[in-house]
């Protein structure tokens, strides 16, 4: 049996996203093969025996190694992979993306890059003055804020932080202060999916979303959010991701570069979920990739 789209997933909160993908496949006349932990073993066996195949892979296994044989099969047989693992791994490295973005002329926070602790356990003398009184410490490969230290102020904090993920590079970044627009911080998370951009107000403390309306975009001159995100897409070459962009008193600053482990919880089910209509639209956009590979 052959399927147009294969969707491995296990996270219970992906259920609404999965339903949106199901709906989009139905509307576009595509067949969908869902693989969950309950069907994983038999599905992998059927795949490798040639009893089942697919054209396009939309992998939501998010680091669960049990699903790796599906990715390997798709790569070996040259199937379309949405956000291929090798691109994801490359783009999730914040140190790499920082250099790529500044080379492309995209504004980022002032940053000092540090080698991994295991490569350079003793750092040369650092001048932290350009970072300001307080700065941010980030490991290069962690997501979801893991290992991030806000309001750092001393070299001792830097030394100790590097030991939490000793195999990773670290970034020391100046603190970005957004301007205030109508009582809320001008901090945005922008979703990207197959050429479309979806800018949202995103509070950095509460993580609550609100879609940027066309009137807000015009009134507060927020149109550059689209262009900046598309430029990032051209660099990372991912099919879908999110990025964080702050608007300071001077300009737009890309604060968190590329996140492709997107939290697909919807706002109707979780206070800090993404707007339902955005996740719905993203699902439809991703299914168009499978449609093109029919």
CB 275 within 8 Å of CB 267: yes
Q: Tens of pLDDT along 103-131?
A: 999 999 999 999 999 999 999 989 999 99
State the distance between the two ends of the chain, measured CA to CA, in whole angstroms: 14
According to the CATH classification, is domain 110-174 in 1.50.40.10? no
CB 276 within 8 Å of CB 16: yes
Q: Are strands 187-193 and 240-247 parallel, antiparallel or unpaired?
A: antiparallel
* Interatomic CA distance for residues 244 and 145, integer angstroms: 12
Residue 42 dihedral angles phi and psi, to the nearest 5°: -65, -35
Residue 290 half-sphere exposure, CB side, CA atoms within 13 Å?
Answer: 29
Taking residue 49's Cβ as centre, other Cβ atoms within 10 Å add up to 8
Q: Tens of pLDDT along 71-84?
A: 999 999 999 999 99
Is 281 buried (19+), middle (13-18) or exposed (0-12) by CB count in 10 A?
Answer: middle
pLDDT at 244 over 90: yes
Q: Tens of pLDDT along 179-225?
A: 999 999 999 999 999 999 999 999 999 999 999 999 999 999 999 99
pLDDT at 286 over 90: yes
Residue 150 dihedral angles phi and psi, to the nearest 5°: -95, 150
Strand arrangement of the beta sheet that strand 240-247 belongs to:
209-211, 196-202, 187-193, 240-247, 252-259
pTM of the predicted model as reported, rounded to 2 decimal places: 0.95
Q: Tens of pLDDT along 19-61?
A: 999 999 999 999 999 999 999 999 999 999 999 999 999 999 9
Mean pLDDT score, 223-238: 98
pLDDT at 3 over 80: yes
Domain 2-83+287-292 fold: Rossmann fold (3.40.50)
Question: Superfamily for 85-109+176-259?
Answer: ATP-grasp fold, B domain (3.30.470.20)
What pLDDT band is residue 145 in, cutting at 50, 70 and 90? confident
Assigned token pair, 233: 């897409």
Q: Tens of pLDDT along 254-278?
A: 999 999 989 999 999 999 999 999 9
Domain ranges, ordered by start, for the chain: 2-83+287-292, 85-109+176-259, 110-174
What pLDDT band is residue 239 in, cutting at 50, 70 and 90? very high
Assigned token pair, 54: 């697919």
Strand-pairing partners, residue 184, are 181
pLDDT at 144 over 80: no
Q: Tens of pLDDT along 158-184?
A: 999 999 999 999 999 999 999 999 999
């Amino acid at each position: 049996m052959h399927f147009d789209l294969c969707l491995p997933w296990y996270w219970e909160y992906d259920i609404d996203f999965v339903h949106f993908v199901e709906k989009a496949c139905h509307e576009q006349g595509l067949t969908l093969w869902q693989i969950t932990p309950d069907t994983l073993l038999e599905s992998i066996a059927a795949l490798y025996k040639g009893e089942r195949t697919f054209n396009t892979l939309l992998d939501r296994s998010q680091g669960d190694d049990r699903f790796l044989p599906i990715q390997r099969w798709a790569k070996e047989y040259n199937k379309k992979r949405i956000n291929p693992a090798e691109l994801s791994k490359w783009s999730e490295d914040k140190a790499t993306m920082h250099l790529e973005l500044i080379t492309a002329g995209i504004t980022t926070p002032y940053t000092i890059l540090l080698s991994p602790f295991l490569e350079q356990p003793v750092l040369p003398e650092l001048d932290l003055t350009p970072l300001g009184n307080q700065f941010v410490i980030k490991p290069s490969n962690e997501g979801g804020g893991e290992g991030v230290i806000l309001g750092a102020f001393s070299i001792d904090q830097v030394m100790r932080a590097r030991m939490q993920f000793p195999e990773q590079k670290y970034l020391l970044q100046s603190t970005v202060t957004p301007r205030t627009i109508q009582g809320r911080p001008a901090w945005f998370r922008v979703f990207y999916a197959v050429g479309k951009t979806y800018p949202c107000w995103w509070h950095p403390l509460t993580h609550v979303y609100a879609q940027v309306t066309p009137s807000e975009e015009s009134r507060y001159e927020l149109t550059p959010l689209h262009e900046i995100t598309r430029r990032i897409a051209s660099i990372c070459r991912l099919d879908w991701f999110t990025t964080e962009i702050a608007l300071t008193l001077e300009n737009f600053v890309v604060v968190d570069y590329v996140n492709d482990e997107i939290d697909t919880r919807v706002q109707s089910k979780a206070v800090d979920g993404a707007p339902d209509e955005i996740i719905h639209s993203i699902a439809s956009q991703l299914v168009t990739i499978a449609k093109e590979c029919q």
